[in-house]
Structure 1
Amino acid sequence: MSESAVKNIDGQVYREVLGHYPTGVAVVTGRADDGEHLALVVGTFSSVSMDPPLVSFMPMKSSRTFDRLSRCESLCVNVVGEDQQDVVRTLAKRWENKLDGIEWFASPSGDAVLADSVAWIDTRIRETVEAGDHLIVLCEVHDMAVTNPVSPLIFHRGDYGGFACSTPA
């Protein structure tokens, strides 16, 4: 596709079309050098490789929280459950002290695992790639667990919701 064709894509149409594809919601946590616990809501988290174990997420380049997270020794990705919409909305609104009043426990690396999250994944940043107005953050997996096997929270057509499998587990 030519560069001129890409520039002609209307932003509103782009959002509408891609909004019809659901994405999972995750919360990335870390500890700043000053000890503050940081948290960032992302809707673009994915498994990348089993060998070696890698995952990725895509924060906006302009994210001040990710700017601080990028300097953390480790990060923990929390896969949130469909009943955690209020926690996600609270974290997304706050600029600082994001975890105040939110229940969590420490992962093996010491980063926050949100209580009632579906799963957590302890990681270290391996590489960050610029991609338009976002970054692709590739992370090595160091530890992980399922802690609450419930339906994950998804983002679809501009809103949060749950997911139900068509066949029993």
Structure 2
Amino acid sequence: MRLDSREFRNALGRFPTGVCVITTTPEGGKPMGMTVNSFAALSLDPALILWSIQKNSECWSVFENAKGFTVNVLASDQIDVSNAYAKKGEHDLPEGSFRIGKSGNPVLKGCITTFECNMNAQHDGGDHIILVGEVTEMDNSPTGEPLVFHGGQYAELR
């Protein structure tokens, strides 16, 4: 059975997700980030997370060669941050919008949770690559609401 790709994408959009910006610094380059909603927990021991990136993404070569990255879980008031790093060609992090974490990777300011990770593995996933990170540092705010995406638009928790 062959699924209609638009219908499949719409069906997947019925599942609400959080919104993250994945950040890293390419060797010899500037700190950069890209918006994703494909983040998930993988293992508690060891502490592993995963996210995926399209093979044809303009950011793929950066993450393919990255030694690590940070998953920045956006707060509900960070729609502008999500939109900024979801655009093609718009991935450089402006000065003052981040700090360098203990891992050496950029950590965005104002997020409700951040996970600094070493690259653990990369797996083929159809038209995506699944990246697995081992969490080495974490910052978790006790307050704040997450930015949620559902049905092709931002949503609020009720």
| Same-fold call, TM cutoff 0.5 | yes
Give unpaired runs (5+ residues) of structure 1.
Answer: 165-169
Q: 2:63 aligns with which of 64, 69, 91?
A: 69
Shift in Å, 1:35: 3.5
Q: Deviations over 1:7-31 (max 9, x none)?
A: x211121122111111111111111
Equivalent in the alignment of 2:51: 57
Pick from 75, 97, 100: which aligns with 1:81?
Answer: 75
Where do 4+ consecutive residues of structure 1 move more than 4 Å?
none
Q: Does structure 1 residue 119 correspond to structure 2 residue 113?
A: yes
Give the length in aligned residue pairs: 158
Matches of 2:151 and 2:74, distance apart in 1: 18
Q: Which has the larger radius of gyration?
A: 1
Identify if the C-alpha distance between structure 1 residues 163 and 98 changes in structure 2 by more than 3 Å, giving closer, same or farther: farther
Match for 2:157 among 143, 159, 163? Answer: 163
Tell me the equivalent position of 1:11: 5
Q: Mind listing any 5+ residue stretches in structure 2 that lack a counterpart?
A: none
Taking the TM superposition and a 5 Å limit, the aligned residue runs for 1:7-156 are 8-96=2-90, 98-100=92-94, 103-147=97-141, 149-156=143-150
1:53 partner amino acid? A
Specify the SS of the correspondent of 2:83. Answer: helix
* Identity percentage of aligned residues: 30
How far did residue 70 of structure 1 move? 2.4
Alpha-carbon distance in structure 1 between the residues aligned to 2:66 and 2:142: 26
The one-letter code sitting in structure 2 at the alignment partner of 1:61 is K
Q: How far has the Cα of 1:96 moved from its partner?
A: 4.9
User: Between Structure 1 and Structure 2, which shows a larger proportion of helix residues?
Assistant: 1
**Shift, 1:100, TM fit:** 2.2
TM-score (norm: length of structure 1): 0.86
TM, length-normalised to structure 2 = 0.92
